[in-house]
Amino acid sequence: MEKKSIEIKGSNFTLLVLYLNNENVDLINKSLYKKIQECPKFFKNAPVIVNVSSLCHVANWDKIKEIIISHGFLIVGVTGCKNNNILKKNIINSGLPILSEKKTINSDLISDYFINAQKNIQKESINKIEKTHIIDVPVRSGQKIYAKHADLIVINNVSAGAELVADGNVHIYGTIRGRVLAGANGDRTRKIFCTELFAELVSISGEYWLLDQIPIEFIGKSAQIYLKNKFLTINFLS
């Protein structure tokens, strides 16, 4: 059967949310500059959703939008308008969509991998690593790579919205912005190694951190992540 030229499907993506707690244009500009200086590589061309739920009235939306874009952010949409119809109209007229707020990552989503794995362990012991999967091309948003009974090595960059899953260890020799899950079969001895850490999520055998839980000093750095006494631990790679 001939494949359709296009398809429209539902999906889950993890995006940064920029919360505006003040409509003062100068203050927003200074705050964005300060935040970007903490980790310039991470925020460069980063897609964001702008949350305006703390703003009662915004008469200068176009200027705020212009400032956000000038700092290198790509605005995907705006959420948190509530019943502010004037603000909604201004946002729509500026060419941006209004989005309903929905959590895109939760513990159930992460746990699915490991609940199913535990069922399989009844039939077979913790799987020994049989081979290594090597990926040497960029991993794009929406792609999912699963290395069953194997380590996974990616010698390239991994975009936001992509997902790497391995029963063994995961190595990323490039920038990682997507999700990384090692020890997916329940093996708690597995590790994640990366050279530029900007991951949306990292997980070892069901224990996970979201981006905002990763210690800030490790963002953009080379690091290894593993379990120690059942807790996620992170160290710099020397």
Per-residue model confidence as pLDDT tens for the chain (238 residues): 566 777 766 555 566 788 898 888 999 999 999 888 876 766 777 888 898 888 776 778 899 999 999 998 889 889 888 766 788 888 888 888 888 755 444 444 444 544 454 444 333 334 455 678 999 999 998 888 999 889 999 999 999 889 999 999 999 999 999 999 999 888 999 999 999 999 989 999 888 898 888 999 999 999 999 999 989 999 998 7
- Centre a 10 Å sphere on the Cβ of residue 88 and count the other Cβ atoms it contains: 15
Q: Classify burial at 214, counting beta carbons within 10 Å of its beta carbon; exposed 0-12, middle 13-18, buried 19 or more.
A: buried
Contact 129, 189 (CB under 8 A): no
CATH number at residue 54: 3.30.70.260
233: helix, strand or coil:
strand
Q: What is the CA radius of gyration of the chain?
A: 20
What are the pLDDT digits (tens) for 131-159?
789 999 999 988 889 998 899 999 999 99
C-alpha of 156 from chain center: 17
Q: Are residues 150 and 213 both part of a single domain? A: yes
Contact 215, 205 (CB under 8 A): no
Q: Are residues 181 and 136 both part of a single domain? A: yes
Domain containing 89 equals: 16-93
pLDDT of residue 13: 59
- Centre a 10 Å sphere on the Cβ of residue 155 and count the other Cβ atoms it contains: 12
Whether the pTM exceeds 0.75: the reply is no
**Is 207 inside a domain boundary?**
yes
Q: Considering only CA atoms, which of 186, 188, 195, 138 is closest in space to residue 164?
A: 138
Domain's final residue, options 59, 93, 127: 93
Q: Are residues 118 and 229 both part of a single domain? A: yes
- CA-to-CA distance for 73 and 48, rounded, in angstroms? 7
CATH number at residue 210: 2.160.20.70
Q: Are residues 64 and 143 both part of a single domain? A: no
Distances (CA, A) of 4 to 8, 143, 202: 11, 19, 35
Q: If you count them, how many residues does the chain have?
A: 238
- CA-to-CA distance for 82 and 87, rounded, in angstroms? 9
Q: Are residues 55 and 160 both part of a single domain? A: no
- CA-to-CA distance for 118 and 154, rounded, in angstroms? 26
**Count of domains observed in the chain:** 2
Which residue matches tokens 């927003």?
28
Q: Are residues 120 and 216 both part of a single domain? A: yes
Q: Are residues 42 and 138 both part of a single domain? A: no
How far the first Cα of the chain sits from its last, in Å, is 52
Q: Are residues 132 and 84 both part of a single domain? A: no
Contact 236, 218 (CB under 8 A): yes
**Is 100 inside a domain boundary?**
no
**Is 150 inside a domain boundary?**
yes
- Centre a 10 Å sphere on the Cβ of residue 206 and count the other Cβ atoms it contains: 20
Domain's final residue, options 64, 93, 122: 93
